[in-house]
Amino acid sequence: MTSKGPEEEHPSVTLFRQYLRIRTVQPKPDYGTNPALSSILLNSHTDVVPVFKEHWSHDPFEAFKDSEGYIYARGAQDMKCVSIQYLEAVRRLKVEGHRFPRTIHMTFVPDEEVGGHQGMELFVQRPEFQALRAGFALDEGIANPTDAFTVFYSERSPWWVRVTSTGRPGHGSLFIEDTAAEKLHKVVSSILAFREKEWQRLQSNPHLKEGAVTSVNLTKLEGGVAYNVVPATMSASFDFRVAPDVDFKAFEEQLQSWCQAAGEGVTLEFAQKWMHPQVTPTDGSNPWWAAFSRVCKDMNLSLEPEIMPGASDSRFIRAVGVPALGFSPLNRTPVLLHDHDERLHEAVFLRGVDIYTRLLPALASVPALPSDS
């Protein structure tokens, strides 16, 4: 009755024995932790994007698991998987009685999918965020269909630009000069020519990944009231994602000059203009990268470091000086974030828990850094 094998041991006894193993011997007790060091922040967002239910094979909020083990749901990849993988890894490490020098914090934030303006953007400015004393953060990445894992060290900056063109109105049957439409057409042509140039640059260089060039899409055209009325105003909206190595001032001047070249009365306004691109180094100069990549090497995981094409909450974290990596431990998985039939195989999900279970001890044990004092 007293002595059982390790599998059968009462969990309370296991916990007791783990506690006994911590050498809290005076006069230099090893309490295991060092709250003076900066912490590790595990961030995830809780919101998900909308669904077109009719295009789904299963109810996107049922989390249906098929006979092969694929779990279908909105958020299966982006990014409810990561939230639970963090929690499960932390739970596992706690159950095993591990203590680390650095504290691990988890944040579950709202509104990432609509820009984070009421979420992480505000939170990083709050005293509660400062109180976490984050030294390094992990946040979401994107699945990788191959054997490799993608890790993001920077992001492109979202610039949402609305170009408004004003011109002479009149009857739709006449050759009216200086119309809003023809001037808007010029700006649209200039911007779409720039798009083509960036696309070609990406296509022609196999070393460049999507996030390394600037993308733009024409996403809205507005204006007009009737077939036979030439409107005095028309507008076009563009979603630019500006690569981190671009000279932002020169780029804005380029946009202005395209508007000016189109004629009088063409102006632009920004609905979103991120101006603080930051790069988290992925070399030996960054001890967080060293710890992260060392674990991946030890686990035989191959990494593909990239610039995130879209925008995540990482940009707010990096902008307040906290290095961050965007990493969702999802390989051999088609990229289905924001798509119909978003799904994740349960084995990939579980493997991700294993990966965090190895990553977190390494990150939370990075020795004291100059930035810690």
Ligand X SMILES: CSCC[C@H](NC=O)C(=O)O
**Which residues are the active-site residues?**
47, 112
Q: Is 140 annotated as a binding residue?
A: yes
Under rule CB under 6 A, residue 237 binds ligand X: no
Q: How many Cα atoms are found within 13 Å in the side-chain-facing hemisphere of 28? A: 0
Mark the segment that binds ligand X (CB under 6 A) among 7-15, 100-108, 187-195, 310-318: 310-318
Contact, 186 vs 295, CB < 8 A?
no
Q: Which of 158, 169, 265, 334 binds ligand X (CB under 6 A)?
A: 158
Binding status of residue 140 toward Zn ion by CB under 5 A: yes
Q: For residues 263 and 267, give the distance between their C-alpha atoms in angstroms, rounded to a whole number.
A: 10
The interface partner of residue 140, options being ligand X, Zn ion, none and the CB cut-off 5 to 8 Å by kind, is: Zn ion
Which two tokens mark 133?
Answer: 């004393």
Nearest to 336 by CA among 47, 46, 81: 81
Q: Which stretch binds ligand X (CB under 6 A): 199-207, 278-286, 305-313, 347-355?
A: 305-313
Contact between 110 and ligand X per CB under 6 A? no
Q: Nearer Cβ to Zn ion, position 236 or 336?
A: 336
Contact assessment for residue 223 and residue 234, using Cβ atoms and an 8 Å cutoff? yes
The burial class, CB within 10 Å (0-12 / 13-18 / 19+), for 187 is buried
Give me the 261-300 binding string for ligand X, x by CB under 6 A, dash otherwise: -----------x----------------------------
Q: Which residues pair with 242 in a beta bridge?
A: 157
- Residue 283 is labelled as binding a ligand: no
- Out of 47, 113, 210, 372, which residue is the one contacting ligand X (CB under 6 A)? 113
Q: Which two tokens stand for residue 173?
A: 């049957």
Stretch that binds ligand X, among 18-26, 185-193, 304-312, 353-361 (CB under 6 A): 304-312
Residue 340 annotated as lining a ligand binding site:
no
Cα separation of 218 and 202, whole Å? 19
Radius of gyration in angstroms for the set of CA atoms belonging to the chain, rounded to a whole number = 26
Asked whether 335 and 143 are in contact (CB, 8 A), the reply is: yes
Q: Is 78 annotated as a binding residue?
A: yes
Least distance in angstroms from the C-beta of 333 to ligand X: 17
By CB under 6 A, name the one of 310, 326, 352, 361 that touches ligand X: 310
